[in-house]
Amino acid sequence: MNGMGDDTVNTQHNDSDTLLRGITSPADVKALSGEQLHELCREIRRTLLDYGHLHGGHIGSNLGMVEATVALHKVFDSPRDRIVFDVSHQSYVHKMLTGRAAAYLDADRFGEVTGFTNPDESEHDQFVLGHTGTSISLACGLAKTRDMEGPASGIGNVVAIIGDGSLSSGVAFEGLNNAAEQGGNIIVIVNDNEMSIAGDFGGMYGPLARLRASGGTAQPNLFEAFGFDYRYVERGNDVDALVDAFAEVKDIDHPVVVHIHTLKGAGYAGGQAADTAASGEIAGHDVADERAASAVNPGNDTGVKPTENIAHAEPWHSDHCNLSDHEPHEGQCEASHWQNPDSSLGRPDDPRKHYGKLAMAALEPRFATEPGLVVISPATPGSNGITHEFRECAGAHYVDTGITESHAVAFAAGIARAGGTPVVATTASFFQRAYDQFFQEMSLNRSRVTVLDFLGGLSGSDNTHSGAYDVAMFANIPGVTMLAPTSQSDFLAGLAWATMPAGVAGAPDGPVVIRVPGEPILAAERDTSLLPLTGGRGIANVCGTAGDHSDTDMLSWRVTHVGARVALIGLGNTYPLAERAAVELAEHHNIDATVIDPRQCSTLDTAALESLRAEHELVVTLEDGQLEGGWGEKVTAYYANHRIADGCGDGTGHAEHTSGNPRVMNFGAAKEFTDRIPLAELNERYGLTVPAIVAAVTQQRRTVLN
């Protein structure tokens, strides 16, 4: 590579954001001189760095796109020219230049915008996007309407921006395939920073590296193979070079790929800071030291560096900063995918990392004697506790398939068919992308696949990453067993059961989804006062009174407290809430409620449900997911469809006010998208609080008694 000096990102700052504060629309960008464009880039970069420390977010990807985004709005005419950001987590700069800069400059306004594009915020945002690979397909649709309707469509150039990591997603190839045949003005900008969320994985990355090394001339050229015109821009963090490149393709009459080589995290400290982060030496510094480590270094050469892995002779690896989330730096830095704010430094692991690390620690010792045991991550390994150390120790037992959830699940089904033991791990909302593979390749074929479902249930996440729909999805697929463990021990026991060798007595005969415990469970394990009935102690399964159950039966419900009149059944993350509600009912309303941990949500324990008839007039189900199509409705339907003649459930006549047909109340989430609403507020909205449950139960009992 050459031209390193010309591609140096200028990060010196004049302690002023005068230009940025004056940008109210792309028209203001167009009015700037070349020198002012450079100053604007410096102001944006400083703003991003400060925003990362104060608020956190996808800072590294946005730092790498500063110059490209400024150049886009200098050349193109948004919103007439439609700009579609893939994933759109790199749209912060775009938002700054389309009238929303104050949301990044002023701390009291940080919550005004989402972390992704959103048409409700601005006419310059085309779609709500938080998943990957779809920008080219969306661009094809916009361009198709433009070409069919002509000038009346009001659409000019159509520009799709997609990262090299996103290209591994199958739908991206489907989009490329369609775009080349469709023809017309479709401009695809490939932001190549040699990095996905972790590393880039897949056979296309060798040819992509050779394209970079050759200045865009190497063959095979996968974009030309699809039928695209092709341009390469080596200096992807040079705003002047990008303005020139984009001006050349504006109003083009055929599909073209503009391949730009950028530096992820451009502006973070590099070099020594990266080495220090890799060795862990920064960990003991205070917040001021942390800020200094990732602050703009005016003397640092932040140009695009060569990779030294041109031949792609070994798997692509990011550096070894090990996912701290607060030690990001330039280049192939996995920690710069998501930067936590300084205020979160020193906090213990969140549930995803905590339970993910536990799962990997349980699997790792088995690799030596189980050659077919394979952990599969469709990207995002670090977010789920799959650390660098684990990956290195696992070797061939770990596969990162890139951002390819559909492939990952089908790949796992193939491993299972051959007699292996696959474990697929990613976030609940990402698994939605593999819905067909769950039905066909996994479930229809009875494939022994274990799925670790992270971030399932309610959360304060944005509307594209909510896991509130995972139970409605997984638990309604025929043949799938979905576990909802309520403790570390149950989680690890479920993992051991799901990955038992085929044919062993007691092993499952099909796929198993394990909903990784969330914050309510982890909080209760760290503070056992949140489990006032059991205190987190080991508990006996007393459902045996209604059937032959044992703790080793993963599908039987567990009664943790035997009471009467009211039964509280808390699925997964809502189980601690069931215990607290039961204590409140006992102490203030003289109701000794039965409490049940169902442990799974794919089948009903009918013996347990039948055992409640004699002594219980009300059954309450709690779930932190979508009620409609969810789990609680199945309990309601069971009693509605299996009514008995009025009278005491067991025929003894000793149970007061029971008919043998308990009423059922379901607590859970509405069928809706929620966007960055704090979890406590969502719980209030859906009645998933002790006061709401107690009020509903006491009111229902008064109605029954009257």
What's this model's pTM, rounded to 2 decimal places?
A: 0.89
* 514/604 same-domain check: no
Least confident of 78-87, 347-356, 620-629, 646-655: 646-655
Predicted confidence at residue 657, as pLDDT, reads 56
Pairing of strands 187-192, 229-233: unpaired
Q: 483-493: per-residue pLDDT in tens?
A: 999 999 999 99
* 138/236 same-domain check: yes
Q: 544-565: per-residue pLDDT in tens?
A: 333 344 445 889 999 999 999 9
Residue 317 forms part of a structural domain: no
- Neighbouring residues of 209: CB distance < 8 A, sequence distance ≥ 6: 194, 307, 309, 310, 311, 312
Predicted confidence at residue 47, as pLDDT, reads 97
Residue 457 forms part of a structural domain: yes
* 565/688 same-domain check: yes
Q: 274-287: per-residue pLDDT in tens?
A: 344 334 333 333 43
Per-residue pLDDT for 480 more than 80? yes
Residue where a domain stops, chosen among 212, 232, 261? 261
* 514/626 same-domain check: no
Q: 657-670: per-residue pLDDT in tens?
A: 568 999 999 999 99
The rounded percent of the chain whose pLDDT value lies above 70 is 85
* 460/608 same-domain check: no
Residue 308 forms part of a structural domain: no
Residue 148 DSSP SS3? helix
* 508/617 same-domain check: no
Q: 98-111: per-residue pLDDT in tens?
A: 999 999 999 999 99
Whether the bond into 517 is cis, omega within 30 of 0: no
Residue 23 forms part of a structural domain: no
Residue where a domain stops, chosen among 244, 261, 278? 261
- Neighbouring residues of 219: CB distance < 8 A, sequence distance ≥ 6: none
Residue 338: which pLDDT band, with cuts at 50, 70 and 90? confident
The rounded percent of the chain whose pLDDT value lies above 90 is 76
Range of the structural domain that residue 433 is part of: 351-521
Highest mean pLDDT among 193-202, 515-524, 640-649: 515-524
Which stretches of 373-435 are assigned E, i.e. beta strand? 373-377, 398-400, 421-427
Taking all residues of the chain, what is their mean pLDDT, rounded to a whole number? 87
Residue 225's CB is within 10 A of a number of other CB atoms, namely 12
Residue 355 forms part of a structural domain: yes
DSSP 396: G
* 75/156 same-domain check: yes
CATH number reported for the structural domain that contains residue 385 in this entry: 3.40.50.970
Per-residue pLDDT for 637 more than 70? yes
Distance between CA 455 and CA 450 in Å, rounded?
Answer: 16
Which stretches of 507-641 are assigned E, i.e. beta strand? 512-515, 558-561, 565-570, 594-597, 616-626
Distance between CA 308 and CA 195 in Å, rounded?
Answer: 14
256 beta partners: 187, 229
* 671/587 same-domain check: yes
483 beta partners: 514, 600
Q: 405-446: per-residue pLDDT in tens?
A: 999 999 999 999 999 999 999 999 999 999 999 999 999 999
Taking residues 163-179, report their average pLDDT: 94
The answer to whether the beta carbons of residues 304 and 4 sit under 8 Å apart is: yes
Residue 594 forms part of a structural domain: yes
Per-residue pLDDT for 671 more than 90? yes
Residue 158 forms part of a structural domain: yes
* 587/695 same-domain check: yes
* 509/566 same-domain check: no
Per-residue pLDDT for 535 more than 60? yes
Taking residues 83-87, report their average pLDDT: 96
Residue 280 forms part of a structural domain: no
Per-residue pLDDT for 454 more than 90? yes
The count of domains in the chain is: 3
Rounded to 5°, angle at Cα 144 from 192 and 185:
50
Least confident of 92-96, 198-202, 472-476, 680-684: 198-202
CATH number reported for the structural domain that contains residue 605 in this entry: 3.40.50.920
* 110/223 same-domain check: yes
Predicted confidence at residue 336, as pLDDT, reads 85
Q: Which residue has the higher pLDDT, 309 or 96?
A: 96
DSSP 510: S
Residue 702: which pLDDT band, with cuts at 50, 70 and 90? confident
Long-range contact list for 603-608, CB < 8 A, 24+ apart? 603/481, 603/555, 604/634, 604/635, 604/638, 605/543, 605/547, 605/549, 605/555, 605/556, 605/557, 606/638, 607/543, 607/546, 607/547, 607/549, 607/556, 608/543, 608/546, 608/547, 608/549, 608/556, 608/557, 608/559
DSSP of 175-205: HHHHHHHH-SS-EEEEEE-S--SS---STTH
Distance between CA 493 and CA 486 in Å, rounded?
Answer: 11
* 446/564 same-domain check: no
Taking residues 514-529, report their average pLDDT: 97
